[in-house]
């Protein structure tokens, strides 16, 4: 499988199994099926509330010699309520305990948004911190300490725009090594992609299939479907692929890691098989010209009247 290479030579498989929205009772089996199918990259996060079950699956797979720990690439993310310098390492240590691991391969700041300690999702103004309360540089310093302590091999961010990346880079001893963002043909993120590539920051695409199974509370009525898009389906039909395989191959062709989520054994295997799909220049151009612009995870749940944050703190203007 194609890999992305970090500056120190470490490699990350370009396809990983996403675990956002994978329910307890489902994610354990999904991780085992993925490892059996050949996945070696698993993407996790504390806020997904399923890391203990993922950890049980990883432990079983390693104990039963399905895979060696050093063959796996495991990512997790720091939640918004642990952005204070003194909270970063304890958060990572809890994730390691839940995942039953001694170290992560990659640890990301999940969002450039801070909550008070213990807050899952802020519901009042008092539950937020501001950038004055906790500068991003403070949280990043905590991430660097995690790296220095050997708790993770690499550190990065998620949902960071060019402005926030630049802010970190201007004060950090180590620039973010990864930026995980929503990315697909409806949201190609060309400006951000070019910035990251110019600055040696790798990229991972989340919600590459459109995240149609996310909570109704963060969906809009009549949102467009990636999997049902006629351009995507046309390419899939011509090549004997699933629409999902076309969408995964789209990110791979751009040298961007991609983490489709599934708890279905057949689809888990199909998604991995997209590693062998090559899209032609004309097919990539057709996807680039698709004519629809849409962001599925718009971040509005972190903004609004009660929040000190704005959407411009999160997203690039394309």
Identify whether 129 is a catalytic site residue: no
Query: How are beta strands 3-5 and 11-13 bridged, if at all?
Result: antiparallel
Q: Which residues lie closer than 8 Å to 315 by C-beta, 6 or more apart?
A: 161, 295, 299
What token pair was written down for 247? 């969408």
Which residue positions form the known binding site for substrate?
110
Specify binding-site residues. 110
Of these residues, 28, 39, 48, 309, which one is catalytic?
48
Quickly count: other Cβ atoms within 10 Å of residue 86's Cβ: 10
| Non-local CB neighbours of 21 within 8 Å, separated by 6+ positions | 48, 211, 213, 214, 261
Pairwise CA distance, residues 51 & 315, whole Å: 28
**How would you list the strands of the sheet with 257-258, edge to edge?**
17-18, 41-43, 73-78, 106-109, 155-158, 178-182, 202-206, 257-258
Residue 167 · residue 137 · CB < 8 Å: yes
> Where in the sequence numbering do the catalytic residues fall?
48
């Amino acid at each position: 499988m194609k890999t992305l290479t970090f500056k120190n030579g470490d490699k990350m498989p370009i396809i990983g199994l996403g675990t956002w929205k994978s329910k307890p009772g489902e994610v354990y089996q999904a991780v085992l099926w993925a490892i059996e199918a050949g996945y070696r990259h698993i993407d996790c996060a504390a806020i997904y509330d399923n890391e203990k079950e993922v950890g049980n699956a990883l432990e079983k797979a390693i104990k039963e010699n399905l895979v060696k720990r050093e063959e796996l690439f495991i990512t997790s993310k720091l939640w918004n309520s642990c952005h204070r310098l003194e909270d970063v390492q304890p958060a990572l240590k809890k994730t390691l305990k839940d995942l039953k691991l001694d170290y992560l391969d990659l640890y990301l700041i999940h969002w450039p948004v801070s909550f008070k300690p213990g807050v899952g999702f802020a519901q009042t103004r008092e539950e937020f911190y501001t950038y004055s309360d906790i500068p991003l540089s403070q949280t990043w310093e905590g991430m660097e300490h995690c790296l220095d302590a050997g708790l993770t091999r690499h550190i990065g961010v998620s949902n960071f725009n060019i402005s926030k990346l630049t802010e970190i880079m201007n004060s950090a001893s180590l620039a973010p090594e990864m930026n995980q963002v929503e990315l697909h043909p409806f949201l190609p993120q060309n400006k951000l992609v070019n910035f990251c590539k110019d600055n040696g920051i790798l990229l991972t695409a989340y919600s590459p299939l459109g995240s149609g199974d996310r909570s109704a509370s963060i969906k809009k009525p009549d949102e467009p479907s990636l999997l049902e898009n006629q351009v995507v389906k046309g390419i899939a039909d011509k090549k004997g692929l699933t629409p999902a395989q076309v969408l995964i191959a789209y990110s791979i062709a751009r040298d961007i890691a991609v983490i489709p989520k599934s708890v279905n054994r057949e689809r888990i295997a199909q998604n991995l098989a997209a590693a062998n799909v090559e899209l032609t220049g004309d097919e990539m151009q057709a996807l680039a010209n698709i004519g629809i612009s849409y962001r599925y995870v718009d971040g509005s749940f972190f903004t609004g009247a009660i929040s000190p944050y704005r959407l411009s703190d999160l997203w690039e203007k394309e």
